Amino acid sequence: MKEKVKLAKIIILELYEFQSNIFLMILVNILLLTCIPFLQLVLSSQVISWLINGISIDVYLARLILFIGLIGIGQVAQSFLNVYFEEKINYFRTQSMYKIKKKYLSLDYPLIIGKESQIRYNNANELNYSNGSLFIRIISEIINLGNAILGLILYITVLSQLDSLFLVLISIFIISAALLNFLQVRLDKKLFNEIAVNTQKLKYLSKIYGESKLLKDVRTFRMQEWFEKIENQTRNSYYNTLLPKVKLSLIESSILTIGVLLMSALSYFRSVNMIISGDIPVSSFVIFAGSVTILAQTAMGFITSMGDATRSLNEIKIYDDFMSQKQVFNHNKGQLIPKGRITIELRNISYTYPDNSDPTINNLSLMIQNFEKIALVGGNGSGKSTLIKLITGLLNPDEGIILINGIPRNLFNINDYYSLFSPVFQEKYLLTYTIKETILQGLDYKKEKYERVLKISGMLTVVKNLDLGDETKIVKAVYNNGINLSGGQLQKLKLAQALYKDSPILILDEPTAALDPIAEHEVYKAYFRLSDNKMSIFISHRLASTKFCDRVIFLKNGKISESGTHQSLMNKKSDYYELFEAQSYYYRDVN
């Protein structure tokens, strides 16, 4: 109970933060929803009473106009509130979606990798995805619950005047419905993850259908029927997941219908008897008979609303679990970032990914000197990219320590620490901005620096051949007048980004994997020309960069297998020699 109160406070604070007067509007709407149907019952009863009592036509019309006017004003106000809440619900959903995305983008990298982290994010995202999602329905649920509670109080008070047996019947009715609804909520909780997984699969299928990179494969491999089969299997799995819920809903509906019929029968029987005995006027029959129907609907609404509230509280916990994640790194004031000379020392560090049992980096030690150019090489899975993530502060070692100029890395503010690096990672995703905006990445525009970066990176040649120059939008799928960059052009753009940031440490994580050897050679010539006054760390499966580096580090099974210059390692004729020879074999004349 204590936790449910806490979760209720969370959603109340979310709504208050969204719009402080929304609870006043909700209260007004609840009063209108409850009072208007009752006023309509009273009007029907009064019309019969006025006709029986034979009041004058003037008085009759005046009273009728007063009642209809009052009801009309309420209905107009209710219509206004419906439009108001429809708009606010969409805004609230958008704000909640933005908060989840913002939180995700601000989370430290270790909190967004691994299966559990992805499930946590997907589940939080699911709270905004469809029309039945938490942040779309929560305002309506609060209104419905308030309306149900107020309606129960009103109509039980009315019907208890007719027969106290109604209190027994309504109690049985509510308890039965509550039990069934409890089973529904428990089933909803059990099925939430399965439904979320199915929804993610369907979203992914919809996404890849429009992925231009797949169009050639889809046609040449005749994948249309295969895709259709996968989608049908996913949809069938979704429907089968919901089947127990559908069956339980049918049982619930049947029992509730029987309860309504019993209460209606009692109402009619008692009303007629009391009219015959003269205990109530004929006009009161309308109120009592109508109250039974509305009470039954209200009771069903109350049970449904209580079930919805329980389900929503469970989902608010999902939201809270995601939003309340504590950061891993230091986001407070830290040591000043060093200027000038920089050294990086990795001392006995180990790291294991969340979903793995074996360490990717295993008790590794390494010292990188100021302005040193390092090449990290090794086979797939040797730990090269993981080592880069540890150095750049994306990951924390499980064991050991990373030192910058002898200062432990965790003593630096992490955002200040990131300013040390200009990385070019192997994943190259582009946002749909202009070339200029993509290079600046939110940094202040400095004309002289920007023009120099364009020239040095080779992007100047690219933009000169475009009608809109550097104002050209990237990603043609989004903009008709946009462009899709080739592999070489994309590489130049990423280089321009790194150069414009102008950090003291240049990181290149397999930047040329998609390029042919000639294009790769040109890219590395540009990188090395620009890295004279920077510490540089290069990763490449292909060994085009190693001859230019001061030192080559060969990784194997998360450890340093050997270290030295290109020539010294070739002379050693061990791991590095074998890899280099295997690659160079195909560039020789072997006939």
What pLDDT is stored for residue 591 in this prediction? 45
Indicate whether 299 and 436 sit together in one domain: no
Residue 298 domain flag: yes
pLDDT in tens, 143-191: 999 999 999 889 888 877 766 666 677 777 777 766 776 777 677 766 6
d(CA 526, CA 456): 8
Q: Which CATH number does the domain housing residue 270 bear? A: 1.20.1560.10
Selection from 68-82, 217-231, 418-432 with the highest mean pLDDT: 68-82
pLDDT at 343 over 90: yes
pLDDT at 413 over 80: yes
pLDDT in tens, 241-267: 777 777 777 777 777 777 777 777 776
Indicate whether 62 and 100 sit together in one domain: yes
pLDDT in tens, 517-557: 666 666 666 667 667 788 989 887 667 668 778 899 999 99
Q: Give the least confident one: 66-70, 243-247, 306-310, 577-581.
A: 243-247
Q: Give the least confident one: 61-75, 313-327, 434-448, 501-515.
A: 501-515
Residue 392 domain flag: yes
Q: Which of 323, 354, 377 is the last residue of a domain?
A: 323
pLDDT at 404 over 70: yes
Indicate whether 316 and 356 sit together in one domain: no
Q: Which of 290, 323, 356 is the last residue of a domain?
A: 323
Residue 179 domain flag: yes
Q: Are 559 and 362 in contact (CB under 8 A)?
A: yes
Residue 225 domain flag: no
Residue 212 domain flag: no
Indicate whether 12 and 115 sit together in one domain: yes
Write out the DSSP string of 149-218: HHHHHHHHHHHTTT-THHHHHHHHHHHHHHHHHHHHHHHHHHHHHHHHHHHHHHHHHHHHHT-GGGHHHH
d(CA 172, CA 181): 14
Indicate whether 185 and 290 sit together in one domain: yes
pLDDT in tens, 451-510: 988 887 788 888 888 888 888 888 766 677 778 887 778 878 888 888 888 899 998 887
Residue 211 domain flag: no
What pLDDT is stored for residue 232 in this prediction? 77
Indicate whether 296 and 378 sit together in one domain: no
The parent domain of residue 315 ranges over: 2-199+245-323
Selection from 253-267, 372-386, 430-444, 487-501 with the highest mean pLDDT: 372-386
d(CA 51, CA 286): 14
Q: Which CATH number does the domain housing residue 530 bear? A: 3.40.50.300
Given pLDDT bands bounded at 50, 70 and 90, which one contains residue 327?
very high
Token pair of 3, please?
């936790």
Given pLDDT bands bounded at 50, 70 and 90, which one contains residue 42?
confident
What pLDDT is stored for residue 585 in this prediction? 64
By CB neighbour count within 10 A (0-12 exposed, 13-18 middle, 19+ buried), where does 522 fall? middle
Taking residues 358-381, report their average pLDDT: 92
Task: Name the 3-class secondary structure at 363.
Answer: strand
Q: Which of the pair, 405 or 202, is modelled with greater confidence?
A: 405
d(CA 307, CA 344): 57
Indicate whether 470 and 366 sit together in one domain: no
pLDDT at 587 over 60: no
Q: Which of 259, 294, 323 is the last residue of a domain?
A: 323
Indicate whether 260 and 380 sit together in one domain: no
Return the number of other C-beta atoms located less than 10 Å from residue 511's C-beta: 26
Q: Which of the pair, 447 or 287, is modelled with greater confidence?
A: 447
pLDDT at 360 over 80: yes
Q: How many domains are contained in the chain?
A: 3
pLDDT at 396 over 90: yes
pLDDT in tens, 84-135: 998 899 899 999 999 999 999 999 999 998 888 888 998 898 888 777 788 9
Q: For the CA atoms of 22, 23, 29, 33, what is the dihedral angle to 10 degrees?
A: 140
Indicate whether 464 and 526 sit together in one domain: no
pLDDT in tens, 219-233: 666 666 777 777 777
Residue 538 domain flag: yes
Residue 414 CA, chain-centre distance (Å), reads 24
Indicate whether 413 and 480 sit together in one domain: no
Indicate whether 283 and 356 sit together in one domain: no
Return the number of other C-beta atoms located less than 10 Å from residue 318's C-beta: 18
Indicate whether 439 and 372 sit together in one domain: no
Residue 334 domain flag: no
Task: Tell me what the pLDDT averaged over the chain comes to.
Answer: 83
Length of the chain: 591
pLDDT in tens, 287-308: 877 887 787 778 778 877 887 8
> Which one, of 69, 66, 65, 71, lies nearest residue 41 by Cα?
71
Return the number of other C-beta atoms located less than 10 Å from residue 191's C-beta: 15
